[in-house]
Homo-oligomer: A and B are copies of this chain.
Amino acid sequence: VGTGPGALNQITPAAQVAIAQADVVIGYTLYVDLVHPLLRPGQIVEATPITQERQRAQRAIALAQWGLTVAVVSSGDCGIYGMAGLVLEELRVTGWDGKTPEVQVFPGISALQSGASRVGAPLMHDFCAISLSDLLTPWEMIEKRLHAAAQADFVTALYNPKSQSRTTQIAIAQQIFLQYRDPKTPVAIVRAAYRQDEHIVLTTLADCLDAPIDMLTTVIIGNQSTRLHGDWMITPRGYLGFGS
C-alpha cells in the first residue's frame, strides 16, 4: 500500500481503506506512525527498522499464508522503489502460483510527484527517476543512466541522493549533468513534502550541492527548457515555440 508523502490527505481513499480493513499492518516505523490515525483497535501492527525490507516482505507473506489480510505500508508509491516489488519478488522465489495469497497493489503519490507539485510543474515533459543508491546496483550502471538522462535532456529525479556513509554520488551526478546541461539549469531539492518539516530549496545545477541533501531528499533537475519564475519551476510541455 503506497502511503504517499506522509500527509493523510495525500493518501488515496483506496489505500486508506486497505490499511483500515487489514488484519495486520506492517511497515517501517516512521511510515506506520504516519498512518496511525487510520488504524483500528484490534489490528496487529508491526513496525520494523528501515533496513529490514526483505524480512518485512517475508513476514507479510507468512502472515498472509495463515489467512490474514496484511497491509504492507510503503511511503510514496509502493511500486516505485517500494515494498510492492519486494513482496512480489519474495512470493516468486517461493513458487507462488500468482493467486494465493492474493495480492493487490495500491499506488500512491511518489516523492518525485509530491516534490514536483510543491515547486510547480517540472515534470511536464519526458522525465526519469534514478536512484543513486549503489547497494544493489553497480555504480557503473547508475553512471551510465545519469549520462543517458543528461544527454537526452530528460527532466531527472534523483532518489536516495545521499546518506551519511554515501556522500560522493550526488557530486558525481552533478558533474555528469554539467557535461550536457547549462549550469543555470533549475534544480529543486525537496525534503519531506507535505509534512511539518517540509524543506524546499530552488537552486541551479551549478549551486545544488550547497543545499542540505540526505536520504529523505528528492532532487529534481530540469531539462534545457525548464525555467524558474519566482518560486515556481516550470517545464514547458514542448520544444516548439512556447517557453524557450
Contact = CB atoms under 8 A, between A and B. Distances in A.
Nearest to A86: B237
Contact of A237 (B81, B107, B122, B149): B81
A207 to B, nearest CB: 20
Interface in A210-244: 227, 229-232, 234-243
A116 B240 contact: no
A42 interface: no
A88 B79 CA distance: 29
A234 B105 CA distance: 12
Given A13-B11, A117-B105, A128-B126, A98 B152 contact: no
A128 B127 contact: yes
Contacts of A131: 125-126
Interface of A: 4, 7-14, 17, 77-82, 84-86, 88-89, 92, 96-99, 103, 105-110, 113-114, 116-118, 120-131, 135-138, 141-142, 144-145, 147-149, 151-154, 227, 229-232, 234-243
